A and B are shown apart, each in its own frame.
Chain A
Amino acid sequence: MADEYDAFITEETIEGDAEGRLAGTTVAVKDNISTAGVRTTCGSEMLADYVPPYSATVVERLTDAGATIVGKTNMDEFGMGTTTETSAFGPTRNPIDPERVPGGSSGGSAAAVAAGEADVALGSDTGGSVRCPAAFCGVVGIKPTYGLVSRYGLVAYANSLEQIGPIAGTVEEAAEALSVIAGPDPNDGTTRDPTDAEDADATVPEGGYAAAADGDVDGLTVGVPTELFEGADERVVETVEAAIADLEAQGAETIEVSLPSVEHAVQAYYVIATSEASSNLARFDGVRYGHRAEGDGNWNESFAETREAFGAEVKRRILLGTYALSAGYHDKYYAKAQDAREWVRRDFDDAFEDVDVIASPTMPVLPFELGESLDDPLRMYLADANTTPANLANLPAISVPAGEADGLPVGLQLVGPKFDEATVIRAASAVEDR
């Protein structure tokens, strides 16, 4: 069974230490996370032959904890996509239904876990890229609070939004991997020790996050925002509502909450993410690393010709970001998107005055068929409606299987207060226990 779903771009083993809390665990790593000596392509022709001279902090932490890296997983090019179809290495198929996409952009990571080719996988989540494929493949995915996990060695797409997060078959396994990769890193100035964060009500359970996966939701208050159910596929809504009813049966209390700002989340996300991408991806000039075109034109011509190798979705986002930041449009798009981001943050803050976690469908749709949405970028962007708010608000979020609809997996998303990973893990473990 050699990678029948094309989950991997490179299958190569990096042995971990003999002992540690992840000894005997196999881990697949998304191909935008640097691995010393093992090529790291970002799903792009631009980096098809790029071999990093150093490893990401998360990779060092995994191997130090005894994990064995089994390969680098397929992804939407530079993380830009919701289906893993924009990869220069071809699409990954969903192990639950090979005619459908695995979600994205960490589709290879979720597919590798769903197919049993790795116990755990790392993805990166800028606007839902861990949670979406976890939902579509019927596995668990965690997007940590911004600053909990080091981004050192993650090839940047939109720095202010993204976090590396684990994907696994169970909440407990994902939580254990999170414990290993979490924590401050001098090489990433945005990382923080959650117990030092004065503005956060953070408790890290003794023994790590896996200890929070005890299924005990008695007395927990779950907020249900109408805005994240409106417009979703009915089959998805029914499945998620049944799972929430089961949480009530286990002693949780549910109350309706309102998050009016989230109607602007996708707009704000795409303006901010493409703006940051247009700056970040300027580094791919063919001089220091990566593909370089053969032409012998001057600097500007050579630069533009080299960058013709980006795929269409990456070009679209670089151009949209360049446009949004250009003189005359900056205030209209970028500044307003930052206002919307602040609004989303305040909405969640207000909601967490009354509730412990917020529950919704992870994805408003069932997994797309292969090829279904590639020609319609706006339709693909709108599928990120429920996942982007957590990135804009820097909050922890998890996707856990809620059940199936028409034989396809449905994910339930739980969002918690800043650095309160323990509560979303606890609530998610009750969803999978039912």
Chain B
Amino acid sequence: MTDSSDPDGDPAGSGGEEGAAGAAAVDGGSAGPVVDADEVEHVAELARVRLEEGEREEFTDQFAEILEYFEALDEVPDLDREEDLVNVMREDDIEEGLTQEEALSNAAETEDGFFKGPKVS
């Protein structure tokens, strides 16, 4: 996301709750993930996606089915990656890029050559 600060002033943050809930679910073992409507709403908040009327319930049912299918990943053996990854480097030379006007051309709101975002709080 663009801004990692939490303007809600909640220092624990929603991530902490998610961690606790997640750990509990994993500790629960064979029962598998239980996704309820509140959890779907919570994940939507984390992702900053507002749901439309009815989507919360619809997604809850669908996620239960999809996550149950994902459970089969438990049967996959632990493997170390054998990829041949190499760094791709280049000289840090100044090159021509977009003009400021071009970079701003698709923005909903600009001011004095800057993007203008919504208020932070």
Contacts and interface: CB of A to CB of B under 8 A. Distances in A.
Interface of A: 49-51, 53-54, 186, 189-190, 199, 261, 263-264, 267-268, 270-271, 278, 282, 285-292, 296-305, 307-308, 310, 312, 315-316, 318-320, 322-323, 326-329, 331-333, 336-340, 342-343, 345-346, 377-378, 381
Interface of B: 1-3, 7-8, 15, 18-26, 33, 40, 43-52, 55, 58-59, 62-63, 65-67, 69-70, 72-82, 84, 88, 90, 98, 102-103, 105-109, 115-121
17 contacts: A189-B88, A199-B84, A264-B75, A271-B70, A287-B117, A291-B108, A300-B7, A307-B48, A308-B52, A315-B51, A322-B47, A326-B46, A329-B25, A331-B26, A339-B77, A346-B82, A378-B65
B106 A50 contact: yes
Given A300-B48, A336-B76, A282 B1 contact: yes
Nearest to A286: B108
Given A190-B88, A323-B43, A339-B77, 14 more contacts: A186-B90, A285-B1, A285-B117, A298-B118, A315-B44, A326-B18, A328-B23, A328-B24, A332-B74, A333-B70, A336-B76, A339-B73, A339-B78, A340-B73
A339 B79 contact: yes
A319 B47 contact: yes
A338 B51 contact: no
Contacts of B109: 292
Which 10 A-B pairs give the minimum distances between C-beta atoms?
A328-B22, A327-B19, A302-B118, A289-B106, A292-B108, A189-B88, A53-B102, A336-B73, A308-B50, A304-B50
A336 B20 CA distance: 20
B48 to A, nearest CB: 5
A322 B43 contact: yes
